[in-house]
Structure 1
């Protein structure tokens, strides 16, 4: 009788079609619809979390990956496959800011949180 409800609830959320993967020398992000971006690890300059006020019904937490370009070269929502592995990998890097990650996870406003910035080399 309620098979339509069971079927609807068993389908993956569209945001779960997204993915992020760390390889030996690059990060790959995909929206699950054919849009794929690769960023060489050597080019990763910043990781920003953008939050909004859409709550549980929208993509309210999105990771933005930056190189030297002004616009992000990769992005993925928190629901993306591989997000936990990405955060674990990122947390091992110099320049990672766990406090900013925690602030982002508590945010219910439109905001941006810099959770990683490549350390400047000192010569």
Structure 2
């Protein structure tokens, strides 16, 4: 189910070169190849944590940021620089689901967890 994502992360090393930052009014993600994407904070609709069964030796936790579309507009692994700051920021927003984040962080299966949904 997440093979495309696992393959993308395997091809790009090291994961430490991935970054996520909150810069002004946007969330900025940079992948391991230096491609930068910006998502205006006001356009953030959902954050999903995707997990797989490759841990602890693989990169098994990935954050997917969604706007209105069905495809993520930002992707970064748990090991990305700035990830903890992003999670700290996200946890202050209405619509953050702490219980779902806890489930995601303890998951050892292929699964998705909606950890944030913007209020409608």
Residue aligning to 1:10: none
Other structure's SS at 1:55 match:
coil
1-side partners of 2:54 and 2:91: how far apart? 27
Residue aligning to 2:37: 37
**Deviation digits for residues 3-43 of structure 1, max 9, x if unmatched?**
xxxxxxxxxx7111100000121000001312111000010
Deviates further, 87-96 or 23-32: 23-32
Deviates further, 32-41 or 97-106: 32-41
Residue aligning to 2:57: 57
Task: Compute the displacement of 1:57 (Å).
Answer: 2.1
The root-mean-square deviation of aligned C-alpha atoms, in Å, is 0.9
Other structure's SS at 1:48 match:
strand
> Aligned pairs, how many?
108
Other structure's SS at 2:87 match:
helix
Residue aligning to 1:5: none
Residue aligning to 1:88: 88
Extract unaligned runs of 5+ from structure 1: 1-12
1-side partners of 2:46 and 2:70: how far apart? 11
Extract unaligned runs of 5+ from structure 2: 1-12
Runs of 4+ in structure 1 off by over 2 angstroms are none
In the superposition, the TM-score normalised over structure 1's length comes to 0.85
2-side partners of 1:115 and 1:65: how far apart? 10
Residue aligning to 1:6: none
Query: Is 1:103 equivalent to 2:103 in the alignment?
Result: yes
